[in-house]
Amino acid sequence: MSTAPDPTPSTPSTGPAPGRGRKGAERREALLDAAEEVLVAEGGPEWTMRAVAAAAGVRLGHLQYYFPTHAELVAAVLERVLRRSAERLAPLLSADADTPGAATGVVTTLLAEQEDARLMRLFVEVWALAARDATVAAAVRGFYGDYRTQVAAFLARRHPDLPEEERQARAGVFVMLIEGASMFRSGVAGERDPATDRALIRTALALLGP
């Protein structure tokens, strides 16, 4: 998508800093909701400031009060998408690794998220943005770096005798396996298949260990 902003906004002469206060925060969230909807429905090429303002039912200047440039809007949407995903992921990987079925719970929960078509479309668009924008790419790499760190920590609690290099390698492959599977299981690059799913779960569990 083009990351060029819409025409330069006029700066409000008075008023609180954008997003401060309960009402400001609610308006900001509503604008981000609209931005996500445009991204999911239309894709990156149509994801302009004007399109987002129209979807939110506000004037362009109102959107630009909260997000003066297209780059700032992109950054805010990305931060929220990745934060929500990290919040869902953290409890899974911070749970007691010795609990019976802990590893199975991690794998099946992560795969269940891939059945959310809207979430998967959102991530596909984020990945596409990352391929075009170095700032977005850095944020995405940071997210997946944290993801890998949490998996490695889960492995460390589960298998304390496993060498650190091996833990990091397994964690890296686990993240690649699960995230790569989302492209196929979500229908973007393929379709879900029960036999393939069973093999996928076996492979993921093998990486986390018995």
Confidence of residue 24 (pLDDT cuts 50, 70, 90): confident
d(CA 97, CA 95): 6
pLDDT at 18: 58
More confident residue, 70 or 169: 169
pLDDT at 55: 94
Average pLDDT over residues 127-152: 88
Average pLDDT over residues 35-50: 84
Percentage of the residues of the chain whose pLDDT score is greater than 90 = 38
In Å, how far are 41, 66, 116 from 30, measured between CA atoms?
16, 11, 21
More confident residue, 127 or 8: 127
Of residues 118, 136, 155, the one with CA closest to residue 40? 118
DSSP per-residue codes, 85-153:
HHHHHHHHHHS-TTSTTHHHHHHHHHHHHTT-HHHHHHHHHHHHHHHH-HHHHHHHHHHHHHHHHHHHH
Write the pLDDT tens digit of every residue in 164-180. 999 999 999 999 999 99
Confidence of residue 50 (pLDDT cuts 50, 70, 90): very high
Task: List all residues 6 or more positions away from 187 whose beta carbon is below 8 Å from its beta carbon.
Answer: 117, 120
Is there a contact between 18 and 65 (Cβ–Cβ < 8 Å)?
yes
Q: Is the pLDDT of residue 190 over 80?
A: no
Q: Is the pLDDT of residue 31 over 60?
A: yes
Residue 75 backbone dihedrals phi, psi, to 5 degrees = -60, -40
pLDDT at 97: 65
More confident residue, 41 or 18: 41
Q: Is the pLDDT of residue 8 over 70?
A: no
Write down the pTM of the prediction.
Answer: 0.77
Q: Is the pLDDT of residue 200 over 90?
A: yes
d(CA 118, CA 186): 10
d(CA 158, CA 145): 20
Confidence of residue 3 (pLDDT cuts 50, 70, 90): very low
d(CA 84, CA 32): 13
